[in-house]
Structure formats: C-alpha cells, structure tokens
Amino acid sequence: MTGSRLSLLCRDLWALWLLLKAGADEIMHQDIVPLCAADIQDQLKKRFAYLSGGRGQDGSPVITFPDYPAFSEIPDKEFQNVMTYLTSIPSLQDAGIGFILVIDRRRDKWTSVKASVLRIAASFPANLQLVLVLRPTGFFQRTLSDIAFKFNRDDFKMKVPVIMLSSVPDLHGYIDKSQLTEDLGGTLDYCHSRWLCQRTAIESFALMVKQTAQMLQSFGTELAETELPNDVQSTSSVLCAHTEKKDKAKEDLRLALKEGHSVLENLGELQAEGSEPGVNQDQLDNQATVQRLLAQLNETEAAFDEFWAKHQQKLEQCLQLRHFEQGFREVKAILDTVCQKIATFTDIGNSLAHVEHLLRDLASFEEKSSVSVERARALSLDGEQLIENKHYAVDSIRPKCQELRHLCDQFSADIVRRRGLLSKSLELHRRLETSLKWCDEGIYLLASQPVDKCQSQDGAEAALQEIEKFLETSAENKIQELNTIYKEYESILNQDLMEHVRKVFQKQASMEEVFHRRQASLKKLAARQTRPVQPVAPRPEALAKSPCPSPGIRRGSENSSSEGGALRRGPYRRAKSEMSESRQGRGSAGEEEESLAILRRHVMSELLDTERAYVEELLCVLEGYAAEMDNPLMAHLLSTGLHSKKDVLFGNMEEIYHFHNRIFLRELENYTDCPELVGRCFLERMEDFQIYEKYCQNKPRSESLWRQCSDCPFFQECQRKLDHKLSLDSYLLKPVQRITKYQLLLKEMLKYSKNCEGAEDLQEALSSILGILKAVNDSMHLIAITGYDGNLGDLGKLLMQGSFSVWTDHKRGHTKVKELARFKPMQRHLFLHEKAVLFCKKREENGEGYEKAPSYSYKQSLNMAAVGITENVKGDAKKFEIWYNAREEVYIVQAPTPEIKAAWVNEIRKVLTSQLQACREASQHRALEQSQSLPLPAPTSTSPSRGNSRNLKKLEERKTDPLSLEGYVSSAPLPKPPEKGKEP
C-alpha cells in the first residue's frame, strides 16, 4: 500500500476537498488482501500450509507444507483459499521474485508425496521459484521415491525445478537455517496461533481505515455540496448540524488511530532493518503496513481539519452576514419610517406656545428615534468590522453600510433643518408677542390715565411724561420694518403667518397713532395758559376703529393657553378719583367706559372665533376619522384592535358637537352686541356642560387605544386626506382644552365688566364652570378606585377628594396597635360623599398616559350618619378629627395646608347640618301625620315620635358643641357601604 501525502497548506475549500477525497479514494481502492483471515480462520488453523516469514537467498518468500497426514482429504476450496491468502501476504516486490515451497514428507509414503506435489502444482496461484521436497526417511520409501521420481518427472508438469532432499541438512544448503522454523532445523521464531491473531488484528484495522475513509468522503461530499442558507435560523441549524457530524467523524478517526496504535504495540517496536535475531520479514512488513495506515490516517485527519476549518469559517461568516442582513432590513424599515415621518413635520407654529410645543415634540421625537439611529450606526460599524476581517461577501456588505450611514446623516440633517426652522419661528413669534405685549401695555396706559387729573398743568405734564417714557421703549419692543421682517423670515413665512405679522404691525401702528394724538393733546394742556382751557380728551373712536386685534385675542390652536395672554397685560388700573359732576369728570368716565367696552368686545370676538373654530374642528374629526371607520373602502386599513372601538376612541364627541353647533354657538351669537351679559348664556346651558364629564372619564381609555394603534395606516391615510399637520390625538384633546378655556374667557370678561349689569351672572357662570371642572377632575379620581364591592353611585354626590396623613385610635384595639397608630401615619386618599367618606390607598402606576395615572385601593368607609368631627387638634393647625360611633374609632387627619383643612371641615359640617335638618323635617312630618290620624295611645318606650324627639334633642345638643359636630342615625336608612376592616 503506497499513499500520497495531502497538502496541508491548500487554502481553497474545494481544492482541500478534492485532496481529501483523493486520499480517501486511495485508501479505499487499496486491496490489502483478497481474503481476510477472519473469513478463513478455521481453514488456517489446520496448518497444512503456513507462511513463516522466512526468505530465500534472493528474498523469495518461503511457504512450508508441514507433515499433515490428512492433506489429501482437504477440500479443494479450502486448499485454494489458503493458497490464495498466503500468497497475497508478502509485498508485491517479494511475491514477484517467486515463492519457494518446502514440502515436508519425511514420514509419508511416496504415493502421498506424489499426490501432494501434483495437487500443489495444479492449484498454486502465484509464481514458483523452487520446490524442495523432504522425501520419506524409510529405506524402502526413499529408494522407491528416487526411482519413481526419475521415471515420473514429467508427471509433475512444473515449470520450476523440484528437488528431492533426503535430509534436513540438505535443505540448509538451499535455505539458511535462520529462515527456517525449528521443525526444519532452523532458528526462526514462529507461532502459528500468534501469527493468526496478528493477521486478524491487522486486517481488522485496515478495514476500519477503509470505513473511516468512506465516512470522511461521504461527509466531505455533503459539506462541499451544501448551499448557504438565506436566513439566520437555517444558517444556525446547518452550522449546528455540521458541527455535530464533524465531532462524530473526529471521534471515529480517534477510535481508528487508537486501534492502529494498539496493533502496532502488539507487533512490537522493531527496527526497520530487521536485523534482530528471531524477527522475520513478514513481521517487519506487518509493522510497516500498520505504520503506513496510521500515517495516512494522520494525514487525512490533518487535511480534514483544515477543510473543516475553512468550511466552518464560511458558515460562520454566512451566519454573520445573515445577522447583518436581518438587522439591516429591520433598521432600514425603521429609519425609512422615521424619515417619512419627519418629512411630514412642516408646521412652523401659529403662536409662541404652539412653536414651543412643536419644539418639545421634535425633541421627544429625536430622543425616541435616537435608539434606532444608534442601532443603525452600530450595525454599520459591525459591517465595517466584517469587511476588515475579509468577509467573503464584502461586495454585499459595503453598500448596506454606506446606505445606513446615509440614512443616519439624512436624519440628523433633517432634525437640524427642522430645529432651525422652528427656532426661527420661535424667534419671530417672540418678537410678535413682545410687540403685542407692548401694544397692550400702551392701551392700558391710555385707559389708566384719568382725564380729570389731566386738566391741570401738573397732571398733564405727568401724563405726558408717562407717554414719552413709554414711547422710548418702542425701539426694543415693536416691529420696525415690515419688509425687513418678510425678508429675514422668508424661509418660514406662510400665508397665515404673514397675515398675523401684518395685523401685529397694523396694531402697533394704530396704537402709536393714538399715542401721538394723546401726546399732542397733553402738550397743549401742559402749556402755561392765562385762563382755564377746557381740555378735549382723545376720541375713543380712534381706538375702536383700529384694525389691530384686541388684546384678548390670541392666535393659534387650542394648545396655547389664553391665561398667559391674560396675565401678561397686567391688572387694569382704575381711576381712583371720585366722579366729578363737571364736564371734565363726565368725559373721563366716558372714556374709561369706552375703553372697557372695547376690551369686552375683543373678549367676545375671541370667544366667538374660537367657538366657531372649535365646532369646525369637531366636525372635521367626526367626518374625517369617525365616519371613515365605517367606510367599507377603508376597512382594509383598519387594524384588528380598532374593530368596534369607535366609541372608545371618540367617546361622546358627537354629542358634544351637536350641543355646540346647534345650541350653544347660536346662543352665543345673540350676545355679540352685549358681551357683558354673556354669563346668562352659560348659566342657561350649565347642565348641558355635564356631557364633558363623560368625555373626560373616557379619555384614559381613548389614550390607551390610541397608543396601541397610532401607527395604523388608517390614521395616516385620514390625516393625509384632511391635510392635517397634527395627528388625531391632538384633536381628541380639543374638548378637554375647550372646557378649560371657558373659565379663562369668563375671567377676562368679568375683569372688564365689574360695574356692568351682567357682572353677577358672569361671576356665577365662572363659579359654575369651575365647579364643572372640579367635578370632572373628581370623577377622574373616582373611576380609579379599585376593590370597592358596592355601587359608588349609592353614596351620593362626590363632594371632596384629596390626600392626607391619617392616624387611627380605636377604643377596642390592642394597646400596642394604638400606640403604633398614634405615631406612624398612614397615607390615605379620602373621598367625601354625601352619605359616606371612603379611605383609599393611592398607588402610582408605571407607564405613560392612562397607565401612569394613579389608582386607589379601597380600604374602609364610614357612614356619614354615624360620623362626627373635631375641628381643631391641639398642636397642629392642619389636623382635625373624624370620629365614628361615639368615638369608638377616631381618625386624626392632617391636611397638606390649613386652607385645605378648613375647606374639608366646612364641607363635612354642611353634610352633618343637612342631615340634622332632614331629621328635623322628618320628625315634624311624622308628628303631623300622627296628630291628624289620631292614633291610639302607645307605650312611651315604643313611640316613634317621642324616640325620634329624644334623638333629635341629643343631636341638637351635640351640634352646639363648638369643637365638634357629631353624626346621627337617620330615621331613613342610608345605603350601607362595605364593611370596614381591610388591612392598610
């Protein structure tokens, strides 16, 4: 067996496989033996012929046929198998010289010798060089053999000489004694059973080597023909499966090598020259054969390891590539969405508050998107690392890295550009706000100068100084040149903003004109005169006809607060001088009233304008979003979570729209000419405003649904059709903003109508609106109560709610419990109803919006029929006591401020007082019924009227206690709250 060495430096995977396959083929195609010793083991054990390992003088192998009496009885098949096997063992070189046969027939007869020689000659499968026959040793048989051999030489039909030897020493003349076994007078060490075991082991190892080569060839073919998968999961599976098979192949190789070394050890550590005595050539050949097989296995293993390393590297690079490609697809989809979304940010704001809101939204959007951008940059760095590591798919990775960097740079550039536009808009709106504020201050300055005091020279000079000092501030507050503004802010100016700039410019021009007129009049009054001169005040019509918007009007969406605009104008400074009966006095009062009338009209104009805009926005949402949810053509855009959820998302917005469109807006328009009376309109429709409570209670559910489905294509398509710059959630906030806006407008109107006919109605309307806002706020807390088993509606109207520190002191409680309770307060949120007070534990939730809203775990409740209070607790002005069932249970409550404590004490006193009054009326009513029906006398102890009278008297006595009001048990049963006693 001759093997070729496999190249260990080959770098190409396919070339490695070809080399590995060639080595395996060489092992498999080597015919070690035609037969295996294990197959004919029983035939070899008969030892009618054996290969001792001896060699002739020219190196020809010696096959010995020992004395075997039953030689003629051996079947031809067995004889042929043994001959074939023995002649296949020596190397091809030795077998080519020819075999020497030694036939030992010293104890046999000539007839048997003749038969043996003829049989061997007829079936010997290899080349023969010489046949040596030890003839029979008996005198008669030896003589007979000499004669018979001479006459029957041609009968042997052999092409090689057959030499008859008379004795063993004659044999030594042809074959050296060292190459003969002991039974032939030689010194060659030979054991047939040992030889048979060695041959079996060698051939078993050779078969194992062949099977291992077949396995490696099959596995190598599978690896070489494997196509690289296109996804992460498949690539991981292939890599895992191939690694497992590789480990199995390596284990088989290890076992084969172990077996080979074991065979080699059994053969013994012999020198290659074979010069040691007792060592035959066959043993040396066996050792060389095993060593060659081991060397081939080692070379095959090394080639396979290199082939596997290349294959594993390619699979791992493929897995890295699939991870990179998957990450690229995910990140690119997100960045595309982000870039598309930022492209829709075209609104530059219509007020200062709106621009600030847009900047906050932009910062929030940038912060949320930064995670995706950072992920994209990290993925790009990973791709660059793969390129540096000489990945095989460099041409695919490099364009993706470049695209990721381009998208990140584009996002950053869009953010910078967008922030620059908004900063420019913010700067412009600040200048406009500054100009408006300056105009408003000027208007109030004019309105606050009493005309009667300006009739004197000193008064006129003082007023003139005020005006001149105010005009000195114009350079830093007003807009100087309209064209300059247009040019400077050209990048952000749209039609609406240009109109706003023009109106502000007109307003400041009109205001300056009024100032210059007043300045001219005051200069005349300030001049020294020899006689009194009747001063003429500036005509209020100049201010009334001014085209500028009123100080009360603020542009922009409902997102901007009007309260800030109202506060910035400063308090209106009324004239403190008494009204004079003179003409000058009448002129001053008329001018002041005219100024206030202008301001009222401005507030009324803002109320009507914003009301109309509000109605239009509601209609736009209902038609552009709500109605489209029922449109079959849009059904494919709706996500599963939105099906049958229109009422959750929009609440009762349609009911709110119909109220404002059909009723409230039309009634407001009736007060255009008498804005000071608009409070009556609010009072007449105050009950209708209760619909906002339902909307606000549904708002958390609406916000939660919006967060889950805001990315739905349906909303994006509706927004595109409506050409809205803001998403739906901004419009869903409009009703909440609107109900809050009314109280600001009413405050503004009341401010300018204190001496008017409708002032009381305005004050009452303002109080009612604030009450509605409080009720809405309270109801939002009320729906967050959890764990209450009863119906909260049975407890009557919610009057107050708030958080307090609470200590408990129960007469029936354990002493240690009372002591602990006395020093360690509990944080409780109290809900005061008409019929009970609830104690709850506030629990803050994580998340945003609705999920972040607190919830209140119900702990216990007290029936107001059995409640009393102690208004003042010694040592702390913020504490009061609520006690229950004649002070069996006492709750010391500490409010955040003394004002909150006073409000709660007053409200509880009202509840207890109303219960006492109801008890009195019920007692009087029953007494009247008894007197009219003339009932039969009843025992004193069972008389309901007398019992009730005693109860009433007792309650009246407790009510007179200046420090406390105790509850009482009403004759009419109240709904009973769930039992107390829940653990805090």
| Among the listed residues 781, 793, 798, 897, the one whose alpha carbon sits nearest the alpha carbon of residue 840 | 781
Q: Are residues 449 and 516 in the same domain?
A: yes
In the chain, the percentage of residues whose pLDDT exceeds 90 is 17
What does the DSSP assignment read for 108-172? S-HHHHHHHHHHHHHH--S-EEEEEEE---SHHHHHHHHHHHHHTGGGG--SS-EEEESSHHHHH
* Residues 222, 168 within the same domain: no
Q: What is the DSSP string of 593-630?
A: HHHHHHHHHHHHHHHHHHHHHHHHHHHHHIIIIIGGGG
Q: Both 143 and 223 in a single domain?
A: no
* pLDDT confidence of residue 160: 63
Q: Region 774-787: what's the mean pLDDT?
A: 81
Domain-ending residue, one of 924, 946, 964? 924
Note whether residue 967 is domain-resident: no
- CB-based contact 519:537 (threshold 8 Å): no
> Are both 488 and 358 inside the same structural domain?
yes
| pLDDT tops 80 at residue 704 | yes
pLDDT in tens, 729-771: 989 999 999 988 999 999 989 988 888 888 999 999 999 999 8
pLDDT at 549 > cutoff 80: no
| Domain end (from 884, 905, 924) | 924
Amino acid at 648: V
Q: Give domain status of residue 390, yes or no.
A: yes
Distance separating alpha carbons of residues 60 and 200, to the nearest angstrom = 24
Residue 586 lies in a domain: no
At 600-658, the pLDDT tens digits run 888 898 899 999 999 999 999 999 999 999 888 888 888 888 888 889 999 999 999 99
Amino acid at 329: R
pLDDT the model gives residue 754: 85
Residue 932 has a pLDDT of 57
CA-to-CA distance for 789 and 841, rounded, in angstroms? Answer: 16
Any residues with CB less than 8 A from the CB of 664 and at least 6 apart, and which?
611, 681, 685, 688
**What span, in angstroms and rounded, lies between the C-alpha atoms of 873 and 362?**
52
pLDDT band with cut points at 50, 70 and 90 for residue 113: confident
**732, 631: one domain:** yes
Amino acid identity of residue 157, one-letter, is K
Residues 775 and 798 in one domain: no
What one-character DSSP code corresponds to residue 345? -
Round to whole Å and give the CA distance between 711 and 713.
6
Q: How many separate domains does the chain show?
A: 5
Closest alpha carbon to 108 in 71, 158, 61: 71
- Which CATH number characterizes residue 677's domain? 1.20.900.10
Task: Tell whether 876 is covered by a domain.
Answer: yes
Q: Mean pLDDT across the stretch 567-578?
A: 33
Residue 923 has a pLDDT of 78
**What percent of the chain is modeled with pLDDT above 70?**
78
Whether residue 360 is contained in a domain is answered as yes
Task: State how far the Cα of 594 lies from the Cα of 588, in Å rounded to an integer.
Answer: 10
- Residues 700 and 637 grouped into a single domain: yes
Alpha carbons 984 and 965: distance in angstroms, whole number: 27
**140, 111 Cβ separation under 8 angstroms:** no
Q: Would residue 607 count as lying in a domain?
A: no
- First vs last Cα of the chain: how many Å apart? 92
Looking at the structure, tell me whether residues 232 and 332 fall in a common domain: yes
Crossing angle between the packed helical segments 232-267 and 192-225, to the nearest 10 degrees: 160
Q: Which two tokens mark 122?
A: 């007829």
CATH number at residue 511: 1.20.58.60
Q: Which residues contact 155 (CB under 8 A, 6 or more apart)?
A: 114, 118
Asked, for residue 708, whether it belongs to a domain, the answer is: yes
The answer to whether residues 194 and 326 belong to one domain is: yes
Q: How many residues does the chain have?
A: 984
The structure tokens 């910078």 sit at: 416
Cα dihedral sign for 323, 326, 329, 335?
Answer: negative
Reported as a pLDDT band with limits 50, 70 and 90, residue 847 is low
List, in sequence order, the alpha helices (H) in 281-393: 281-343, 352-388
In this prediction, residues 834-861 reach a mean pLDDT of 77
Do residues 827 and 879 both lie within one domain? yes
Q: Cβ distance 944 to 926 under 8 Å? A: yes
Please report which confidence band the pLDDT of residue 152 belongs to, taking 50, 70 and 90 as the band edges.
low
Q: Considering the domain boundaries, does residue 160 fall inside one?
A: yes
Q: Based on the fold, state whether residues 701 and 717 are members of the same structural domain.
A: yes
- Cα gap 298→295, rounded to integer Å: 5
CA atoms within 13 A on the CB side of 595: 27
Summary mean pLDDT of the chain: 77
* SS3 at position 840: strand
Paired strand residues for 103: 65, 133
**Residues of the domain holding 139:** 57-175
If phi over 0 gives left and psi between -120 and 50 gives alpha, with beta otherwise, what is residue 75? beta
Shared-domain flag, residues 764 and 637: yes
Domain ends where: 526, 541, 568? 526
